[in-house]
């Protein structure tokens, strides 16, 4: 088989093999330029369906269509050259049957050339995860707080605060691992449960609001940059990008209104 590309991207099996090793670093990414910046520092980038809220102003992830995921997936693939790119399957594109999931996941892989897809759900998605994994599609699972089930969960609440909830969430983790997922996102899971799951399954756990006990971490990039108007309690803002953007726009507006922009050095001369 000939190798067409000199670029060595991190693969899903490489992420899977990191269980218990050096912590896995990841972020969401939705567009080419930020993907190119993050690419130097992360192991994988997730084109999350959170883009519906972050980029497109929807109130939840539920309205996001497959085509939007593909469009942003292609942009991130153009920007990122070494990290694994994982694209989220949006609500309604995979839950009906393993065949529906394969049809749409194959479309995502063909049209974006990403290295893996992610889908939400534990036990109920076991058969689908196996179906996809056995047919060449690496699957990252996502359990705990699954935002596509917001209307059933009744809110964005931490999962596993009560011990009575633990068994079901632990079973979700075991089922997705046994079905062939190469990693699993644990979202908003109480620390002792996240630690127990991480110790109890053979694939890496990627935490978001699920403590440092996980094998890796993911955050929504705009949240950690300080660009999102509202963030969950667990999010640490590592920058003040929202404030920087506002400051730059205010300065530009002030200069235009004062007729001091463009200054001579920003103006073409007749020679140009
Ligand atoms: O859509 C997303 O951004 C996600 C992360 C929160 C894991 O699924």
pLDDT tens-digit series, residues 137-154? 999 999 999 999 999 999
pLDDT for 269 equals 82
Q: Which atom of ligand 1 is nearest to the CA of 49?
A: 1
d(CA 240, CA 227) in angstroms, rounded, equals 7
Query: What residues contact residue 28 under an 8 Å CB cut-off, 6+ apart?
Result: 45, 46, 47, 48, 50, 51, 54, 218, 219, 220, 221, 222
The residue to which tokens 């969960």 are assigned: 153
Q: Please give all residues whose beta carbon lies within 6 A of any atom in ligand 1, as ranges.
A: 28, 46, 48-50, 88, 142, 185, 187, 208, 218, 220
d(CA 107, CA 253) in angstroms, rounded, equals 44
DSSP one-letter string for 170-235: HHHHHHHHHHT-SEEEEESB-HHHHHHHHHH-SS-EEEESS-TTSSEEEE-HHHHHT-SSS--TTP
User: Is 240 among the catalytic positions?
Assistant: no
d(CA 147, CA 61) in angstroms, rounded, equals 7
CA of 222 from ligand 1 middle (Å) equals: 12
Percent of the chain surpassing pLDDT 70? 97
Nearest to 36 by CA among 84, 81, 89: 81
Residue 92 reports pLDDT greater than 80:
yes
CA of 270 from ligand 1 middle (Å) equals: 51
d(CA 248, CA 73) in angstroms, rounded, equals 29
Q: Which residue's alpha carbon is nearest to atom 4 within ligand 1? A: 48
Q: H/E element holding 26?
A: strand 24-28
pLDDT class for 3, splitting at 50, 70, 90? low
- List phi, psi (to 5°) of 118: -125, 145
Decide: 214 and 207 in contact? Cβ < 8 Å: yes
d(CA 247, CA 43) in angstroms, rounded, equals 32
**Residue scoring higher pLDDT (189 or 4):** 189
Catalytic residue among 120, 170, 187, 222: 187
Residue pLDDT, tens place only, 52-70: 999 999 999 999 999 999 9
Q: Answer yes or no: pTM beyond 0.85.
A: yes
Decide: 241 and 215 in contact? Cβ < 8 Å: no
CA of 28 from ligand 1 middle (Å) equals: 7
Average pLDDT, rounded, for the chain: 96
Domains of the chain in sequence order = 12-224 (3.20.20.60)
CA of 4 from ligand 1 middle (Å) equals: 31
Return the best residue to mutate from 25, 35, 45, 50 for the ligand 1 pocket (most ligand atoms within 8 A of CB): 50
């Amino acid at each position: 088989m000939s190798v067409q590309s000199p670029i060595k991207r991190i693969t899903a099996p490489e992420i899977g093999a990191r269980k218990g090793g050096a912590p896995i670093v990841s972020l969401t990414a939705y567009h080419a330029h930020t993907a190119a910046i993050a690419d130097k520092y992360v192991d994988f980038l997730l084109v999350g369906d959170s883009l519906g809220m972050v980029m497109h102003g929807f109130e939840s992830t539920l309205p996001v269509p497959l085509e939007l995921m593909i469009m942003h997936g292609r942009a991130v693939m153009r920007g990122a050259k070494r990290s694994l790119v994982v694209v989220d399957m949006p609500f309604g594109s995979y839950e009906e049957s393993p065949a529906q999931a394969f049809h749409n996941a194959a479309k995502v892989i063909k049209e974006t050339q990403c290295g893996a897809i992610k889908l939400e759900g534990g036990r109920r998605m076991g058969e689908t995860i196996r179906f996809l994994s056995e047919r060449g599609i690496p699957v990252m699972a996502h359990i705990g707080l699954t935002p596509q089930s917001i209307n059933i969960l009744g809110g964005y609440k931490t999962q596993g605060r009560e011990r009575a909830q633990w068994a079901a969430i632990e079973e979700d983790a075991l089922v997705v691992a046994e079905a062939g997922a190469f990693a699993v996102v644990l979202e908003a899971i109480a620390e002792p449960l996240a630690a127990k799951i991480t110790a109890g399954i053979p694939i890496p756990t990627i935490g978001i609001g699920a403590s440092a006990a996980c094998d890796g971490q993911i955050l929504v990039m705009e949240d950690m940059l300080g660009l999102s108007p509202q963030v969950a309690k667990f999010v640490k803002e590592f920058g003040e990008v929202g404030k920087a953007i506002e400051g730059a726009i205010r300065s530009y507006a002030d200069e235009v209104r004062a007729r001091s922009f463009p200054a001579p050095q920003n103006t073409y001369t007749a020679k140009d």
